[in-house]
Amino acid sequence: MKFQRSESYVELERLVKGCRGRLFRFAFFRLGSREEAEDVVQEAFLRFAALPARTVRRPEAYLFRMTVNGCNDRLRRRRSVPRLEPLDPNGAYPAEDREALEEAARIEALLGDLPAAQAEAIRLHVYSSLRFTEIAEVLDCPATTVRSRFAAGIGNLKKKLNL
């Protein structure tokens, strides 16, 4: 008997290939942990795969929303500032990775002082390279609201940094 891929399996495979990297990058910078980020992304895909076929109109937005929610749940349970973990099990980073992670930690600390909605809009735009219309789908709000949250957040960051 020959195995045939169902339409839902093909859709899931396309989604994994198409947005897993962006989902992971968002979760990693949000949580500061490679393992937790992988878990959150995997949980989002598992939830999506468990849904009845064709129940989600915008699968990528659904996956991003599940990833955002998963990160927020883990941070709530943790109740502390995320700490970026070393990529090397010995605790060492290559120089360029160390600099990037230190910069990401500084950015996350600044974002942590913003209202949550502004910080989320900035994270989704910067970490995941989502357009405002895509972020609007993820957050289930108008794109104009996303733009204003993003602009207000950037304005608050500029004030904080005296720019």
What letter does residue 114 receive in the DSSP assignment? S
Q: Is the pTM of this model over 0.85?
A: no
Rounded to the nearest integer, the mean pLDDT of the chain is 81
pLDDT for 158 beyond 70 = yes
Q: How far apart are CA 112 and CA 89, in angstroms?
A: 27
CB-CB contact of 74 with 31 (8 Å):
yes
Q: How far apart are CA 37 and CA 74, in angstroms?
A: 10
- In the chain, where the domains are located: 1-79, 94-163
Query: CB under 8 Å to 129, separation ≥6 — which residues?
Result: 22
pLDDT-based confidence at 149, cuts 50/70/90? Answer: very high
pLDDT for 84 beyond 70 = no
CB-CB contact of 32 with 109 (8 Å):
no
CB-CB contact of 31 with 70 (8 Å):
no
Q: What is the pLDDT of residues 17-69, one digit of tens each?
A: 888 999 998 998 888 888 889 999 999 988 888 887 667 788 888 899 999 99
Q: How far apart are CA 29 and CA 24, in angstroms?
A: 9
Task: Tell me the CA end-to-end span of the chain in Å, nearest whole number.
Answer: 66
Alpha helices in the chain (DSSP H): 7-31, 34-50, 59-78, 95-112, 116-126, 132-139, 143-160
Range 94-163 has CATH code 3.90.1150.10: no
